[in-house]
Amino acid sequence: MPWFWPLAAAIELTDAGLRRFQDNLKFLVLSQEIAAPPLPEWATSNRVLLELDTMRLRDFSHPRRSPAALPVLVDAPYAGHSSTIADHASGQSLVQTLLASGLDRVLVTDWKAATAQMKDYDIDKYVAEINVAVDDLGGRVHLVGLCQGGWMGTMFAARFPDKVASLVLAGAPIDTDAGHGAIKKMAHTLPMGFYEEMVAAGSGLMPGRAMLAGWKDLQPEKQFVDKYLDLYAHIEDDGYVKRTESFERWYENPIDLPGRYYLQAIDEIFKRNRLAKGDFVCLGRRLDLKQITAPAYLLAGESDEITTREQVFGAAPLLGTPAGEIVRKVVPGGHIGLFMGCNTLADAWPAVAQWIKSLRSAQA
């Protein structure tokens, strides 16, 4: 009976061997769970303030928040994964960090996975719905853009400059011609036909699974070997296992994107760099980043393999913000760690929150 062999083998092992045997079985079970994890969840209690075509606007604000304080709107990445990266897990939550740092009115754009009915949504559609959300919040916000949410937030700030009190860009590719990152190389090496074929194969959508495979191929050894070796090495560390399970729930559950939005971003943002060059047209108007005069905080990962610091800091000379009101900060770690890394949340983001609070006081 094939299912009987593990029990028979275990009987013959010493105490040390039995422990290794138990670890092997536990590792195999966890590996299977990682291959098909449940969907990610929000770590912090919240309510859906708005239900729009592209997003749910989630409100994490403190019940006794100051009614006069401008809200902080976190524009989560929309690049093939759930927006829960902004509220990943207890102890690894940007939302919780901002709240604990005294920003008591915090909201997040919870971008929806694209359906067949959404395949023709373009960038204009997403910026327009950010505008709806901001208007619903009173018409002015402190805007925090994470990764792809950063260039989208920058578009919004350029199109509606009076509605942005401050702009935080974390791991956000603004000048996509800068640096020598992997995404820049992919964008300039692969022809548009390659991306168009993937969208065609997805019946007008960009399949999340295809994007996930692409991310993994950028670091095949890390994704297909190292993370499993690390899991095995820490198999008796419940905290490590729990963090791994939480991350895999997010990482291994990609979402589809509208094909039109995706192809527009590849062509106009990453291939032709039109946002940085000042000739991207959004909601009927050419965007001039010099129209953004709000204080800006630029946060980059020292070893960010997705968005290089040059692409983030490249925003500084393009903005109309006075040089003395632009903060540039490099923190240890890679791309995803910018948003949910324990050290970055403990060291870097409280400083960002204090910066926003100081602006609130000055603007009051």
Sorted by sequence, the CB contacts under 8 Å of residue 292 that are 6+ apart come out as 154, 157, 158, 161, 164, 167, 319, 320, 321
- Per the CB < 8 A criterion, the answer to whether 165 and 363 are in contact is yes
Sorted by sequence, the CB contacts under 8 Å of residue 301 that are 6+ apart come out as 171, 307, 309, 330, 331, 332, 333, 334, 335, 337, 338
Residue 28 confidence class, pLDDT cut points 50, 70, 90: very low
Q: How far apart are CA 155 and CA 177, in angstroms?
A: 17
**Domains in the chain, please, with CATH?**
47-207+251-363 (3.40.50.1820)
Percent of the chain, pLDDT > 70?
Answer: 78
Task: Point out which residues pair with 258 in neighbouring strands.
Answer: 205
- Which amino acid, 39? L
Q: What is the mean pLDDT of residues 119-131?
A: 98
Residue 26 in this model has a pLDDT that exceeds 60: no
Residue 63 confidence class, pLDDT cut points 50, 70, 90: confident
CA distances from 177 to 153, 188, 338, 343 (A): 19, 9, 21, 29
What confidence score (pLDDT) does residue 194 get?
87
Of 87, 124, 268, 30, nearest to 22 (Cα)? 30
Does the global pTM surpass 0.85? no
pLDDT digits (tens, 9 = 90+) for 218-256: 555 554 434 544 544 545 556 655 665 667 776 788 889
What confidence score (pLDDT) does residue 16 get?
54
- Sort residue 342 into left (φ over 0), alpha (ψ -120 to 50) or beta: alpha
